[in-house]
Amino acid sequence: MGWLFFGDALDPSVRLRLAVPLLNFERHSPIIPGVAYALFGLVVVVMGTSNAVNLTDGLDGLAIGPVIACTFTYMLLSYAAGQTLAGFNIAHYLGMAHVRGAGELTVFCGAIVGASIGFLWYNTHPAQVFMGDVGALALGGAIGFVALATKTELSLPVIAGVFVVEFSLTSSRLAITKPPRAHLLDGAYSPSL
């Protein structure tokens, strides 16, 4: 995270500016102090996304579908944020932040999409592979990092809406009951101890 905010990964004119969705980045992007922006990026974006994906995965392992959708969306956004085709800057045309080198994240997101589709093949009934906490936390952290690296962190709640809804429902019921979708498993079988 330090490399992203305090190193030379992002252009200094883009590094500490917050990209507000649906507004032109060049005209409407507030500047945030470096430490506050790094804490926001680390705690809210990366850790929040990571835990939201983990809570969505829960007992039934349904996080991989929304992960595919989010990562495919970020694959398109990272290509748009980082590529210039024949002198045509896609990011400036769309009003996004142009992030030098963000086009390389397209390959990273494509690899996650492909691996997730491969995971689905072996996770169908009877499941041979399970994601678990390690996979869910890593995929959530990857989505959060790509959101920060492409300067689309405020668009993340819209792109990852399933995770936001699941996180809010689960965290509001955390001490009271089980996760929202776990009641579906009650009708399928009743485990006996």
CA gap 73, 16 in Å, rounded: 23
The series of mean pLDDT values per 10 residues for the chain, 193 residues long, is 71 80 81 84 92 86 91 96 89 88 93 95 84 93 94 93 89 61 55 52
Give the per-residue pLDDT at 92.
86
CA gap 30, 81 in Å, rounded: 18
Give the per-residue pLDDT at 182.
58
Parallel/antiparallel/unpaired status of strands 88-89 and 84-85: antiparallel
The answer to whether the predicted template modeling score (pTM) of the entire model surpasses 0.75 is: yes
Is residue 166 exposed (0-12), middle (13-18) or buried (19+ Cβ within 10 Å)? buried
Nearest to 74 by CA among 28, 107, 98: 107
Place of tokens 């996760």: 179
First to last CA, the chain: 45
Give the per-residue pLDDT at 23.
82
Q: Quote the tokens at residue 106.
A: 């397209």
Give the per-residue pLDDT at 171.
76
For the chain, the DSSP string reads: -HHHHHSSSS-HHHHTB---TTS-TTTS--B--HHHHHHIIIIIIIIHHHHHHHHHHTTTT--HHHHHHHHHHHHHHHHHHH-EETTEEHHHHHT----TTGGGHHHHHHHHHHHHHHHHHHHSSSPS---HHHHHHHHHHHHHHHHHHTT-TTTHHHHTHHHHHHHHHHHHSTTTS--GGGHHHHHH-----
Give the per-residue pLDDT at 100.
85
Q: Quote the tokens at residue 179.
A: 């996760």
Give the per-residue pLDDT at 160.
95
